């Protein structure tokens, strides 16, 4: 039986076919990709379908606390008068400024007089505080909400200020506020008063 030719010699080396039959090279693995930062807050939550993406930021700030203050003129001149008569005049603007920024601020301003003296301040040279009267009149300016009340709206309401008396007050306020008034002082000059320039002090306070 014919068995075909028998090849001798070294075995044939098979070369792969052209590009179409070439096996793709295997690329080495690259470095691992680091994970991104964790998403927190509203960015981690899914948005409602059909609505634009949105994210809230909570914002805070502070409002400073100020002071409750009162101001008055350094000096005032009432004019002149006769013994047994009276001397009166305006003191000038008194202003309360409340910068405490409170929810429900309230305050009361008071006025009190010292004795008035001349020369050596002897009894004959002294007009006592019990002869000094005061009336606030209406406010000439206010700021802020609330009820501003004069202590003595008119001359008929004048009070002796040998002891502290209410000059002005605020109730029912909100936040910062202020009030300004121009009070009138009346000095009853005793019939036995000696001639001279009398000096005393009117003290305004607020609390």
User: Tens of pLDDT along 163-177?
Assistant: 999 999 999 999 999
Torsions phi, psi for 21 (to 5 deg): -105, 5
Confidence label for 15 from pLDDT (cuts 50, 70 and 90): very low
Backbone CA torsion sign across 147, 154, 80, 111? negative
Tell me which long-range contacts 78-81 makes (C-beta under 8 A, separation of at least 24): 78/185, 78/187, 81/187, 81/189
User: Sheet holding 141-143: strands in order across?
Assistant: 68-71, 94-98, 177-181, 141-143
Euclidean distance between CA atoms 181 and 167, whole angstroms: 9
Query: Which pLDDT tens digit goes with each residue over 50-101?
Result: 788 899 999 999 999 999 999 999 999 999 999 999 999 999 999 999 999 9
- Angle, CA of 110, 115 and 117, to the nearest 5°: 145
pLDDT value for 51: 80
- What domains can you pick out in the chain, each with its CATH number? 68-206 (2.60.40)
Task: Give the residue, 45 or 148, on which the prediction is more confident.
Answer: 148
pTM score: 0.75
Tell me the two tokens of residue 79.
């004019």
Torsions phi, psi for 130 (to 5 deg): -70, -10
Query: Which pLDDT tens digit goes with each residue over 92-133?
Result: 999 999 999 999 999 999 999 999 999 999 999 999 999 999
Euclidean distance between CA atoms 130 and 138, whole angstroms: 24
pLDDT value for 9: 46
Tell me which long-range contacts 21-26 makes (C-beta under 8 A, separation of at least 24): none
Residue 24 pLDDT more than 60? no
Residue 155 pLDDT more than 80? yes
pLDDT value for 34: 62
Residue showing tokens 């075995």: 11
């Amino acid at each position: 039986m014919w068995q075909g030719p028998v090849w001798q010699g070294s075995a044939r080396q098979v070369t792969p076919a052209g590009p179409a039959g070439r096996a793709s090279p295997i690329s080495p693995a690259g470095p691992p990709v680091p994970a991104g930062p964790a998403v927190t807050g509203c960015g981690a939550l899914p948005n409602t379908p059909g609505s634009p993406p949105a994210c809230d930021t909570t914002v805070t700030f502070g409002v400073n606390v100020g002071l409750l203050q009162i101001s008055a003129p350094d000096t005032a001149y009432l004019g002149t008068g006769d013994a047994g008569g009276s001397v009166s005049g305006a003191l000038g603007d008194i202003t309360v400024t409340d910068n405490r920024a409170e929810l429900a601020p309230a305050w009361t301003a008071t006025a009190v007089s010292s004795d008035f003296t001349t020369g050596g301040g002897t009894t004959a040279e002294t007009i006592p505080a019990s002869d000094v009267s005061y009336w606030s009149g209406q406010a000439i300016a206010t700021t802020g909400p609330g009820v501003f009340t004069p202590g003595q709206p008119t001359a008929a309401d004048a009070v002796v200020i040998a002891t502290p008396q209410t000059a002005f007050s605020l109730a029912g306020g909100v936040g910062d506020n202020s009030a300004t008034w121009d009070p009138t002082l009346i000095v009853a000059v005793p019939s036995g008063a000696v001639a001279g320039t009398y000096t005393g002090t009117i003290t305004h306070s607020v609390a």
